[in-house]
């Protein structure tokens, strides 16, 4: 299943271990240095999302002036999060992927013979034609497709794939890049009850299970010279661990427990040293500027490397499965480094040698490997909006009351104590020497420009809708739309037009996450799952963006059909209840919103009985000469 170093069988040369570890450390240092500009942008994006001004902006705001930050960016990001989750993980039984048998299924020869023999047994030994054989094989392939989809659905439900992808989507919308890792596998201890002669008994057994996990963008260090994930020479994930976490790794057979124990003993207080700049900034943004020590935090930095390693280096580390002819070649390997020491090294375990990382881009940056998020796109309009709001509040505050000018040479201060106090009906007494017409008190009114400033803020908000291509009504705010938005059908039309951008983003998730992740999970089951009934030749297709388009088209067609058949001529030929059911499905509404057919029939029967009783009562009243009350 893998080719790990057997750390217990033979001692690996410590100098060789340190040499490979030093290489990985060097690549990490290079990626860390070249990634710094992206980190600065991510910190700006996070401040903008959380409503925290940059230091440069705060310095330019005078004391006593408004520091209000209206978080328009947050509303856009959260709206996109929700919209994309609805598309990728729709309600009900719909999925965002589909498995399909290949056009010419390649099934196991033994299975092929079994299904043909089964067909012959059902048809009294008749020899099948080539067309019948093809149909039988295709049916068997479809059965395996259904079995594989059931298996994958069960795995995704168990590992809470939806919750993991929620974090990936939010990271992509916020920072431009969301990272999904997997499928990896772990051995789990599972308990179940079995019936024995002595009664029910709880037994334990180990199971190999796949899992996915979300990787924060702060912890991923790809080859910064690459433009795409496929072009990367390597990808490094940085882990921050406590000593207890390292000891858990040491208990696993694929890690060198002796080197881990020795390293912990030599570094009792951890090896992190000075906290990285972006980590300190994150704490400041969260309000923990002085509460967390940057040194002696008893944490360890572990690097997980996925990339190409020379065959000779792997052989020197004791990795098996490399022939003498392959020494000069490079192999996809997984290397874990603690300090400069390699604590794990093995060949990539996947059948196709793919790395377990998948990137979702909100918008791909053509100049680098990372993407561009909504805050970066909205930066100027958010700044413009905040400036307009701050000016309007400052202007409203300063113009709320008048400004008073006192001429102390005119006032009789002895009889006007505390002249700066203003209250109703106050009498101002002048001195006898003030014989001229100078005013003792002059009132100045500050112009109120709030309306003009709020108009500027409204312009910034509208520009934010334009630059983000996400109108406010997509987030649930349908006020002041006007025009076509005043009617339900018009608003639906606007929502459909605005959904074009969302479809593009959904396609990014399809191609960056769903397609490769589900393909990798299918390959994992083909390689490691012991169940033979799910094995088959299949293709994976992502359906997120496709299902959104199909759903909108179907919903519109159903509405048009319902309207066109609501006339007396066509209505008798249409099952309105089934039509309503299809419209409910197309709108992703809960199916129990409609009454069951039995309840509808019962209600209609009661209404008919009520009408009959009403008619009978009217007839009796007519015969008795009683005025009709109905």
Mean pLDDT of 584-588: 70
**pTM (predicted TM-score):** 0.80
More confident residue, 457 or 583: 457
Q: Which residues contact 342 (CB under 8 A, 6 or more apart)?
A: 12, 17, 18, 20, 21, 24, 256, 259, 317, 335, 336
The pLDDT assigned to 420 comes to 84
Mean pLDDT of 479-486: 50
First CA to last CA distance, the chain: 83
The pLDDT assigned to 296 comes to 58
Interatomic CA distance for residues 406 and 410, integer angstroms: 9
pLDDT of 557 strictly over 80: no
CA 507 from centroid of its chain's CA atoms: 14
Q: What share of the chain is helix, strand, coil (3-state, %, to 5)?
A: 50, 15, 35
pLDDT of 172 strictly over 70: yes
The pLDDT assigned to 484 comes to 46
Mean pLDDT of 407-428: 85
Percent of the chain whose pLDDT exceeds 70: 85
Interatomic CA distance for residues 174 and 215, integer angstroms: 14
The pLDDT assigned to 65 comes to 92
At 21-42, the pLDDT tens digits run 999 999 999 999 999 999 999 9
The pLDDT assigned to 485 comes to 46
Burial class (CB within 10 angstroms; exposed 0-12, middle 13-18, buried 19+) of 108: middle
Burial class (CB within 10 angstroms; exposed 0-12, middle 13-18, buried 19+) of 464: buried
How far are the Cα atoms of 2, 27, 233, 489, 588 from residue 511, in angstroms, in the given order?
Answer: 28, 28, 21, 32, 24
Tell me what the pLDDT averaged over the chain comes to.
Answer: 84
Q: Which residues contact 489 (CB under 8 A, 6 or more apart)?
A: none
At 294-314, the pLDDT tens digits run 555 789 999 999 999 998 888
Contact by Cβ (8 Å): 146, 533: no
More confident residue, 467 or 176: 176
The pLDDT assigned to 492 comes to 55
Q: What is the dihedral of CA 564, 568, 574, 579, to 10 degrees?
A: 50
At 52-92, the pLDDT tens digits run 999 889 999 988 899 999 999 999 999 999 989 988 988 76
Percent of the chain whose pLDDT exceeds 90: 40
E runs forming strands in 158-198: 177-196
Give residue 383's pLDDT band: very low, low, confident or very high (50, 70, 90): very high
More confident residue, 18 or 126: 18
Mean pLDDT of 579-605: 75
The pLDDT assigned to 134 comes to 76
Q: What is the dihedral of CA 372, 376, 380, 381, to 10 degrees?
A: 90
The pLDDT assigned to 543 comes to 84
How far are the Cα atoms of 115, 357, 441 from residue 448, in angstroms, in the given order?
Answer: 85, 56, 22
Contact by Cβ (8 Å): 361, 355: no
At 429-440, the pLDDT tens digits run 888 765 677 888
According to DSSP, the residues that pair with 406 across neighbouring strands are: 441
């Amino acid at each position: 299943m893998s080719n790990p170093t057997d750390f217990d069988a033979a001692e690996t040369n410590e100098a060789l271990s340190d040499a490979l570890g030093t290489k990985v450390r060097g690549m990490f240092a290079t990626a860390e240095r070249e990634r710094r500009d992206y980190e600065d942008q991510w910190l700006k994006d996070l401040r903008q999302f959380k409503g925290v001004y940059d230091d440069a902006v705060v310095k330019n705001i005078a004391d006593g002036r408004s520091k209000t930050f209206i978080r328009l960016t947050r509303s856009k990001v959260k709206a996109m999060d929700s919209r994309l989750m609805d598309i990728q993980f729709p309600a009900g039984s719909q999925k965002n992927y589909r498995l399909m048998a290949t056009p010419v299924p390649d099934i196991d020869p033994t299975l092929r013979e079994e299904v043909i023999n089964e067909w012959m047994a059902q048809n009294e030994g008749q020899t099948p034609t080539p067309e019948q054989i093809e149909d039988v094989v295709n049916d068997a392939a479809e059965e395996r497709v259904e079995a594989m989809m059931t298996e994958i659905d069960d795995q995704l439900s168990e590992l809470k794939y939806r919750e993991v992808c929620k974090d990936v989507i939010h990271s992509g919308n916020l920072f431009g890049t969301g990272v999904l890792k997997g499928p990896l596998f772990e051995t789990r201890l599972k308990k179940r009850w079995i019936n024995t002669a002595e009664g029910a008994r709880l037994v334990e057994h180990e199971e190999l299970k796949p899992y996915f996990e979300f990787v924060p963008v702060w912890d991923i260090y790809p080859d910064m010279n690459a433009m795409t994930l496929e072009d990367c020479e390597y990808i490094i994930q940085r882990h921050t661990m406590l000593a207890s976490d390292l000891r858990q790794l040491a208990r696993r057979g694929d890690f060198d427990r002796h080197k881990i124990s020795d390293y912990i003993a030599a570094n009792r207080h951890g090896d992190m040293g000075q906290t990285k700049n972006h980590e300190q900034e994150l704490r400041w943004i969260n309000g923990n500027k002085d509460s967390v020590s940057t040194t002696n935090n008893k944490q360890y930095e572990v690097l997980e490397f996925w990339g190409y390693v020379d065959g000779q280096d792997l052989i020197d580390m004791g990795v098996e499965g490399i022939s003498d002819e392959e020494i000069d070649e490079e192999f996809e390997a997984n290397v874990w480094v603690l300090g400069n020491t390699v604590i794990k090294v093995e060949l990539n375990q996947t059948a196709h040698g793919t790395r377990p990382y998948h990137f979702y881009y909100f918008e791909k940056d053509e100049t680098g490997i990372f993407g561009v998020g909504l805050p970066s796109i909205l930066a100027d309009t958010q700044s413009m909006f905040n400036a307009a709001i701050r000016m309007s509040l400052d202007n409203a505050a300063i113009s709320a009351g008048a400004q008073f000018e006192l001429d102390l040479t005119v006032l009789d201060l002895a009889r006007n104590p505390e002249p700066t106090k203003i209250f109703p009906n106050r009498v101002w007494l002048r001195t006898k020497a003030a014989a001229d017409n100078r005013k003792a008190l002059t009132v100045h009114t500050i112009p109120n420009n709030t309306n003009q400033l709020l108009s500027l803020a409204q312009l910034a908000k509208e520009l934010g809708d334009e630059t983000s291509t996400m109108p406010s009504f997509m987030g649930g705010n349908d006020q002041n739309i006007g025009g076509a938005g005043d009617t339900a059908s018009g608003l639906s039309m606007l929502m459909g037009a605005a959904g074009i951008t969302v479809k593009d983003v959904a396609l990014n998730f399809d191609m960056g996450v769903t397609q490769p992740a589900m393909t990798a999970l299918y390959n994992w089951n083909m390689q490691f799952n012991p169940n033979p009934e799910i094995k088959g030749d299949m293709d994976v297709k992502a359906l997120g963006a496709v299902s959104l388009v199909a759903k909108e088209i179907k919903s519109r067609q159903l509405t048009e059909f319902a309207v066109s058949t609501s006339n007396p001529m066509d209505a008798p030929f249409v099952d309105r209840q089934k039509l309503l059911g299809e419209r409910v499905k197309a709108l992703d509404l809960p199916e129990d919103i409609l009454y069951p057919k039995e309840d509808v029939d019962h209600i209609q029967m009661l209404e008919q009985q009520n009408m009959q009783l009403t008619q009978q009562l009217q007839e009796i009243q007519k015969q008795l000469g009683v005025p009709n009350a109905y």
